[in-house]
Amino acid sequence: MSSNEIKKIDAVEEKPDAVVEPADNNEAEKPWERVKNARKENRPQAQDYIAKLFHGVFEVSGDRVYGDDPSIITAIAWFENRPVTVIGQQKGHTLEERMKYNFGMPRPEGYRKSMRALRQAEKFGRPIICFVDTPGAYHGVDAEERGQGLIIAEHLKAMATVKAPVISIIIGEGGSGGALALSLADRLIMLENSYFSVISPESCASILFKDSSLAETAAESLKLTSSDLKKFNIVDSVIKEQDGFNRFNMDKSVADIRREIKISLRRLSRFSPDILVEKRHEKYLGMRGL
C-alpha cells in the first residue's frame, strides 16, 4: 500500500475521544524533579500495572538460549475481553526486590525473552502492550560478552517489523537503549512524571562536564520530560498523574491508562498487519527532521 493510500485511511479515521494531556500547571516543573519522581521507591511499576489492568495473567519465563532475566516480565493476559501479550521492565520496590531485578537493568537474556514474546504475539495475532521503566540496559562485562548491544539492535528490528499492534507506555525511567528497545511502538504513551532520554542525566554530565554531580544541569538540556517529548511529537499522548500518586494510590491514573489502551487498540485494529508495519515505519522515518 502506498503512502498516499495510508494517508487517506488516516484522514477518515475518527479522532480518539479520551486522550489525556498533561496538566498546564505542571509545564514549568523542572526536568530534574521529573527525573527524581520517576525514580521514587513507591512509584507504581510494571507488576503493579499488570495486576490492575489485566486478568488471567500467565507469565512466561526463559529465553530458550541462556536463562531467565526477571527484570523483564513477559506474559499472556486478558485485557477486558481480548487476549494480549504483556512485556514489562521491573525494578522492584525494596532493596531485596531491586537486587532480584538487577535494579531494572535487563541483560541480553531478558531481551531475547521479550523477542520470544513478540514472535508469539505475531503468530497468534495478539496486540502487544509494553511497560517501560529502566535506567538503562545492564552494562556489565558478562552482558557485553553475551552480546548486549547486538541483542538490543535485534530487539529494535523485531519491534519495527512485528505484524501486530504495539502500544508502549513509559511509566517511570526511560533510559538509553535499554528503554528504546521496548519503545518502538505504534502508539507511545508517557506518564506525566516519567522521563525518556538517550542517556541518563548522570552519565550525560559525566561525559560533557566530567562531573556526574551536574546531572540537574544536564537534565535541563536533554529535553527528557513528557511535555517536551509531546511537543516534539515523539510521544503520542501523556497521562496525567493523580495527586499523591504511588503504588497504593494509583486507581485514577490506572483508569486513564485503561482508557488510552482501549482507544489505541480500537484505532490500531482497523489496519491489517502489513499496513501496521508500514505505518510504523513511516512514523519513525518522519522523525528524521527533528
| Cβ atoms within 10 Å, residue 249 | 13
CB-CB contact of 104 with 133 (8 Å): yes
Topology at the third CATH level for domain 17-282: 2-enoyl-CoA Hydratase; Chain A, domain 1 (3.90.226)
Q: How far, CA to CA in Å, does 124 sit from each of 118, 127, 182, 195?
A: 10, 9, 20, 33
Q: pLDDT tens across 124-151, in order?
A: 999 999 999 999 999 899 999 998 999 9
The pLDDT value recorded for residue 4 is 53
Stronger pLDDT, 118 or 67, i.e. the higher one: 118
Q: How far, CA to CA in Å, does 88 sit from each of 53, 54, 238?
A: 13, 13, 18
The pLDDT value recorded for residue 24 is 46
Cα three-residue angle 263-168-100, rounded to 5 degrees? 135
Mean pLDDT, the chain, whole residue set: 89
CB-CB contact of 163 with 118 (8 Å): no
Compute the distance between CA of residue 248 and CA of residue 251 in angstroms, rounded to an integer: 9
The lowest-confidence range among 15-19, 138-142, 163-167 is 15-19
* Residue of 287, 163, 274 lying closest to 233 (CA atoms): 287
The pLDDT value recorded for residue 18 is 41
Compute the distance between CA of residue 189 and CA of residue 191 in angstroms, rounded to an integer: 7
Q: Is 252 helix (H, G, I), strand (E, B) or coil?
A: helix
Residue 285: all three cell numbers together? 522515518
Q: Is the pLDDT of residue 5 over 60?
A: no
Which contiguous run of DSSP H or E holds residue 221?
A: helix 215-222
CB-CB contact of 217 with 32 (8 Å): no
CB-CB contact of 70 with 90 (8 Å): yes
Would you call 36 exposed, middle or buried from its count of C-beta atoms within 10 A (0-12, 13-18, 19+)? middle
The pLDDT value recorded for residue 9 is 47
